[in-house]
Amino acid sequence: MKNVVSVSLGSAKRNHIVETELLGHKFRISRIGTDGDFERAIDILKSLDGQVDAIGLGGIDVYLVVGEKCYTVRDGLKLMDAVNKTPVVDGSGLKNTLEREVVLSLAKKGGFFKPGTKVLMVSALDRFGMAEAFEEIGCLVTFGDMIFIAGIPYAVRTVAELEELAAKLLPEMVKLPFHMLYPTGKKQETVDRERAVKFASFYNEAEVIAGDFHLIKRFLPEKLHGQVILTNTTTEEDVLCLENAGAGCLITTTPELHGRSFGTNVMEAVLVALMGKPVEMIRSQDYLDILKQLNFSPRIKYFSSEYVLQAT
């Protein structure tokens, strides 16, 4: 049996274990949250090194790929450096391939995203593949990085401006403690009510809300009006939360395993374990090829027959 573990800076409440079979291989996939405890995460990573088939790093990014540039998050790299023998990934490989493909395929075959569809990506610098795909389709996208990361009510509307801001901000931002940029630990369990109210109009104006689920949840207004949510890392409780808030439909880019959509880091670790190839030798096409073999498809869950964006 292949053993894949995700070590996350997120809440331990979201821990989960599943056993499944993929391409004839049995897998045990588990997730260990450390409630934002960085040192504990390092200790766990060291104890797993050489003992499991692949490790995913959750609740943190290591590599932010924006266009032709790749920015390395200092705290993420510290975690990665704690592992010497086992392949370790952060999900960035899949974000740049699977998520881009999911958006394009849902637009082409599912009729979900059409030119002119109003999309809010709560953050795009960590999901540049998805951002480019929405723009390629002709969606009217609001990239919410300035809004939801820095609290600056400034909507970025083009990938070009996003890249320009990334070039100015990311070389320095990646040096900051990660908790300043992203909700870790217990913050993942609470809504920032003040900012959720302040920035509710960005959610209200959108037909599609896409991106990191912890960010979507942290700034979620009390009421949605049938929007499509495109994300991953959702638990059954999260699905219920979205349904109760009034979301029209939930699409998760990673497949459901026993009622749970795992993060891209977990799925990337699974793919790495399947390929059995050194991580540094894996290219985007390798991910696409194996995803095709696995026939992974996004999970679509409708909450209401009157959701805002009617698929055709």
Partner 1 sequence: MATHQEIKESLMCFLDNYQKNERLKIMNRDWNRVISILVRDNQSQFTMVLEKGVLEIKEGAAQNPDLTVEADSEVLADLFYGDITPTEPYINGTLKILGSEEDILRLDFISLLIWGE
Q: Which residues bind partner 1 (CB under 8 A)?
A: 146, 150-154, 165, 167-169, 171-173, 175-176, 180-181
**CA 148/CA 199 separation, integer angstroms:** 8
- Residue 172, classed as helix, strand or coil, is helix
The nearest distance, CB 149 to partner 1, in angstroms, is 8
CA torsion sign, 185 to 189 to 193 to 195? positive
The nearest distance, CB 171 to partner 1, in angstroms, is 8
Instruction: Output 187 or 299, the one with its CB closest to partner 1.
Output: 187
How is 204-266 classified by DSSP, letter by letter? HH-SEEES-HHHHHHT--S---S-EEEE----HHHHHHHHHHT-SEEEESSPEETTEE--HHH
The nearest distance, CB 70 to partner 1, in angstroms, is 17
Could you tell me which of 173, 192, 191 has the C-alpha nearest to residue 181? 173
Instruction: Output 169 or 275, the one with its CB closest to partner 1.
Output: 169
The nearest distance, CB 197 to partner 1, in angstroms, is 13
Instruction: Output 165 or 196, the one with its CB closest to partner 1.
Output: 165
Residue 195 tokens, joined: 């900012």
Strand-pair category, 228-231 with 208-210:
parallel
Instruction: Output 179 or 301, the one with its CB closest to partner 1.
Output: 179
The nearest distance, CB 68 to partner 1, in angstroms, is 15
Could you tell me which of 96, 117, 121 has the C-alpha nearest to residue 106? 117
Strand-pair category, 25-33 with 228-231:
unpaired
> Which helix (H) or strand (E) is 20 found in, with range?
strand 16-22
**CA 239/CA 167 separation, integer angstroms:** 35
Instruction: Output 167 or 288, the one with its CB closest to partner 1.
Output: 167
Instruction: Output 75 or 99, the one with its CB closest to partner 1.
Output: 75
The nearest distance, CB 187 to partner 1, in angstroms, is 11
